[in-house]
């Protein structure tokens, strides 16, 4: 049986946008989903990323545009 490992962050809107769609795709292909929460702060620290509040305004604005597009 196919297996999907779904790494997610609970504070991310992308997590919720993908939720039901991922389940539908998995069911269609007979796959199971293993949910794997991530600690986004440790990911940012280890990769040099910035939390949303510390990002440049242009990046924050682009993020809002992308959320609208994916909605």
Local confidence band at 69 (pLDDT 50, 70, 90 cut-offs): confident
- How far apart (Å, rounded) are the C-alpha atoms in residues 27 and 17? 17
- pLDDT given for residue 5 in this prediction: 96
Cα atoms in the 13 Å half-sphere on the side-chain side of 51 = 8
Asked if 12 and 40 count as a contact pair (C-beta separation under 8 A), the reply is yes
Looking at residue 52, its pLDDT comes to: 81
Does the pLDDT value for residue 2 go beyond 80? yes
- Residue-wise pLDDT for 11-60, tens only, equals 888 787 777 889 999 999 999 999 999 998 888 889 888 888 888 999 88
Give the pLDDT score at 26.
95
């Amino acid at each position: 049986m196919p297996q999907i490992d779904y790494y997610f962050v609970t504070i991310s809107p992308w997590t919720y946008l993908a939720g039901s769609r991922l389940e539908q795709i998995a069911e269609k292909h007979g796959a199971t989903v293993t949910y794997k929460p991530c600690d986004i702060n440790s990911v940012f620290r280890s990769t040099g990323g910035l939390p949303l509040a510390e990002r440049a305004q242009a990046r924050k604005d682009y993020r809002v545009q992308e959320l609208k597009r994916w909605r």
